[in-house]
Structure 1
């Protein structure tokens, strides 16, 4: 079985996606074509914010968000050590300093209660990550930021687009929301792509300029920028996928809940989903002991798995902070394992995954 079934998704949407791609091929506006604006308007309405700015990738979204805030060398950004490297990569690229708050052991999201103690006069932003598809404690994080001079908050929502938190959508909860349209994400394209979301007119304008090499108009470069546009073809793909996105979110919620029920009696740790939010399960991740043996047994049974993530960022060579002890992140990195998950996962496939996992843990 596939880990993420993109083929089944395409088969269901083939007519619409093919037609949208063909329209781009016919009009030939491959950069900043009309599909770009159409997608931005649709996504802004979906999230419930004034502005959506599409960009070349989820990484580019985080980078541009920090650039709009004027991050300078030596500025500090408080974030989580348990995430994909892109989260801190963009901080380092701008000369900033990532400051790590440990995670909650039952959600793997940043522990909001640990953020305030890390704030210094050099703190320029807080960048929580809504990991695995569940929004982190944004109300608490925003409150901390407000108490300290309204520090900007950037939600790294690469895995949580479509998730709800206290009645609002991920990406619409803070200064900036940033997401990814990498093919495996809850809403993915057929290459790289991403988007930024904000209610701040000035920040949105800055992001639009930065993504086109800092141009306020053609060949007038008012700020330092990047080549950060999302291709028209990729926007067309996402527009096609939006047609059944609500259904896919419903399926992800149902499949995740069914996994939680079926696995409840097994000797493993399930992630907690808080009552005031849901989880769109970009990855359905559990924690097990003797992970290598469990993964080997699942592979032998024909069940694909992945590890998100095997080493926390403060233990990665490029970002090593050997003096830091972040026990919950370090423990999670030793135990997490992700199981097959997509909106098209059948009950029979899910039952096979559960049976194989039960056997592996016996």
Structure 2
């Protein structure tokens, strides 16, 4: 199945540019009648190409989210508009206008997500969180022409954004978090689209996994280390801590203290991965930059697969932090589920086996995807 960031076919790129060029120039989407005519002159069927564009959808009855679309009810009208989303702008990256629109919309999503924090101090809140669109535009000093185009794109960005109010001229006044990704704190378009793909891909709930080979996890770290050096030329990417620490990963546990010690060693190894700087993503911890960094270094890598593996590893970091700084957090249950754990943990021995097995699988996914994405010259 093709994902939102897979390369478009030549016919799909013609469709994309047929819609983009008048929109970029005039700030208005072309009609389906116009698109049909332009593509028909080139021997192409616009309706068939519109159906072929990769889509992320929750179910068969849902129209889904795609780069280019016409009339979201599924019954295109000749006088209806053919519109673009951020997924479409992703395939135009490098275009100054497209990149500027993405910058506005990502900042708007972050503002809408952050606006929800007021709920924490108001247990009796009855209204939805909102963020001022004008303040976002002022903060990033966006031109009015660019803002108008961003507003038209925003109307279809339901995964990460909702328009909550408009003025008499139909200009956006306030926005709310999206339906699919209410915590849309994304630093890049790639990260946003990967999150949509992950959220719309049905996955079984992870189950507790057995762990038979005591040294399998350490071996997975070693293979990842060698793979990164082979493909990216970075030595010591997953360097081991001293033997007295790393050896703990091969030992079984039988109580909570031993479990927490093992988790601490494992999260320290993950935190010390030599992940480089990810453009537009200043996260201080390695796992917070890993997906963006690998995508930056290996543009053809399977980002959704890497993002899922990264999420599994990051859930372990969150679990460890939650034991050090305990506080009410709705993410606890999900983080435990990703590693096949009950919440709270009642069987330390079984939990440690499942943690090691899920971590090993995530590391295997990472080095397999890195190998698959290496440049052909290698």
Bucket of the pairwise TM-score, normalised by the shorter protein: under 0.3
| Structure that is richer in helix per residue | 2
* TM-score, normalised by the number of residues in structure 2: 0.26
Question: Could you say which structure has the greater relative contact order, defined with CA pairs below 8 angstroms and 6 or more residues apart?
Answer: 1
* TM-score, normalised by the number of residues in structure 1: 0.27
Q: Give the greater-gyration-radius structure (CA).
A: 2
